[in-house]
Structure 1
Amino acid sequence: MKKVKCPYCGFFCIKYGKNHTRKQRWQCKSCFSVFVQSNDTTTYDLKCFLDWLFSKDTQKEMMGAGRNFRRKTNKFWEVWPMPPKIEQPQSILYVDGIYLARKVCILICCNDTYVLGWYVCRSENSRAWESLLSRIAAPTVVISDGGTGFRKAVQKVWPKTKLQRCVFHAFCQVRRYTTTRSKSLAGAELYGLARQLLQIKDRDEAIQWTRDLQSWHGKHKTFLDELTREPNGNLRSTHERLLKAEKSLINLIKSDTLFTYLRPFDFACPSTNNRIEGAINAQIRAMLRNHRGMSIERRIKAVFWWCYMHTKKPLSPKEILKVMPTDTSISNIYNTMNSRARLEKSIPTWGDAIVWGELHHSDPYPTHLWD
């Protein structure tokens, strides 16, 4: 039988009768305090909450249409599970952003096994990426789909890390401009070159592919240089979409981020970020789809809960509720910071405050007072 310990001193207790509600009382052998042991169902309630969140079950199918479930688990929607700080360097990391609404994006970073970090922002930009990457040790290679501002953030936070642009996303960008059934010969050939990116396995094939891209431009140079006069009299390129598709590939070649996976590393470097797209983003979208109808704030917290429970060592339920910030704690911090800022603004600035030296002199015979 598990022995009961005193909540005040931690010493073992003995039975000490029952109270008026017929619950067992206990007395400590050391401090002689008497108490009734309460059953803490927080762990069980949190487990039920997470099991529901990560499953396809609906509250309507629960007993009482889920009213009892919502009463017990409503407190968990106030918690913000925050990512841990990763200090151990990794070989390969995958990053991507998933949009929950028009101006709500969650940036996620993971390795081959666990989620390492996440950050909520309005859009993908360099400042948001810097906030995510600053809490994670610099890896050898990071694979990205080319999100806005990511390259700038990597150069600032992880200057020695090699960047690999996801080859499949590079192909999709070309396909967006050329379509799969281009009406021009140049568009069809460029689409074919983009598809060959998915099959390149060594440096020689990469060099040959780059030469083929240059040959394509020389072959269709006259066609690509055609201009069209707009109604206002300005000239613009007739085949602007083809030029944008070609430029997207040329920029990746010049930045040396298209064939990073072909370098001689001590590990096998993938060319795509399918790990984060299929194993994380797809499951998060499925979770939000199963529980559609949640507010945007709860959708954000649902993603936070999913990411945290898929980290390497998530805390126990009791420690999570004790350590993680809540809506109330964040609001108190904000109010404290805001009041402090208002107080600092009310203090007289330079030139307005009293100077102590004007009222007190260290020299008993100040010369500047002589006539």
Structure 2
Amino acid sequence: MKNILNLGIKISGITCDGDKSLLKAIRKVCPKVPVQRCLVHIQRMCKIWLSAYPKSVVGFELREIVCKIHFIDDEVKKQYWIKEFLDWSEKHKEFLNEKSYSQQTGRYWYTHKMVRRCFSVIKKALPNMFSFLQNPKIPKTTNGIESFFGHLKGNLNIHRGLTKTQRKKFIGRYLFYKNLKA
């Protein structure tokens, strides 16, 4: 990131998947740049952890809340969604904090691990989930850039025999011509 800034590129916003090391680097290098957590990543991971048919009513309710994330496109919908999520978490606080105990090992763990994991991801992401509403130039997902790099990788795979130097030149030309089209 420092290299990007040293090139004179101004970063007006960052959309990312929420990797801890990436968020830490962003806070260190560009603390004032708004961060947008990829809503698709949040939703996809929560749906995986909760499964298509959650075993508990609490998990089912959370899955319904998670499924509404991609419909948020203005401040009013955001506030309603946040209120619904916070009301849900308050209502099910005991369920989320319920722990199990093993007498053999003497260890504790959260009983409803996947529901709790989903809740924790959303709670930690909440401050950065809706930056795109304040700045429409910030994308709410990483889908666009992932598609761009997927296409680049596909083109590089066609030319598998390139040396490292040739690959760098290929990428440089690819980016140059893509920017001409934009």
RMSD, matched Cα: 2.7
Which residue of the partner structure matches residue 177 of structure 1? 49
Q: Out of 106, 122, 130, which is 1:259 matched to? A: 130
Relative contact order (C-alpha < 8 Å, sep 6+): which is higher?
A: 2
Q: Which has the larger radius of gyration?
A: 1
The structure 1 segments of at least 4 consecutive aligned residues displaced by more than 6 Å after TM superposition are: none
Question: Which residues in structure 2 correspond to 1:18-167 (within 5 Å)?
Answer: 129-167=1-39
Q: Out of 291, 310, 316, which is 2:174 matched to? A: 310
Q: 1:261 to 1:290 in 2, by over 3 A?
A: same
Which residue of the partner structure matches residue 206 of structure 1? 78
- TM-score, with structure 2 as normaliser: 0.81
Question: Which residues in structure 2 correspond to 1:160-309 (within 5 Å)?
Answer: 160-230=32-102, 231-253=104-126, 256-263=127-134, 265=135, 267-280=136-149, 282-287=150-155, 289-290=157-158, 298=163, 304-309=168-173
1:165 Cα offset (Å): 1.2
Asked if the contact 1:130–1:154 (Cα under 8 Å) also holds between the matched residues in 2, the reply is: no
Please give the alpha-carbon distance, in whole angstroms, between the structure 1 residues aligned to 2:105 and 2:27: 42
Q: 1:286 to 1:243 in 2, by over 3 A?
A: same
Asked if the contact 2:132–2:138 (Cα under 8 Å) also holds between the matched residues in 1, the reply is: yes
Larger helix share, 1 or 2? 2
Q: 1:302 to 1:186 in 2, by over 3 A?
A: farther
Question: Which residues in structure 2 correspond to 1:326-345 (within 5 Å)?
Answer: none
Q: 1:284 to 1:223 in 2, by over 3 A?
A: same
SS at the partner of 2:36?
Answer: strand
% identical aligned pairs: 23
Asked if the contact 1:200–1:206 (Cα under 8 Å) also holds between the matched residues in 2, the reply is: yes
Please give the alpha-carbon distance, in whole angstroms, between the structure 2 residues aligned to 1:302 and 1:220: 57
1:247 Cα offset (Å): 1.0
- TM-score, with structure 1 as normaliser: 0.43
Question: How many residue pairs get matched?
Answer: 177
Q: Give unmatched runs, 5+ long, in structure 1.
A: 1-128, 315-371
Which residue of the partner structure matches residue 344 of structure 1? none
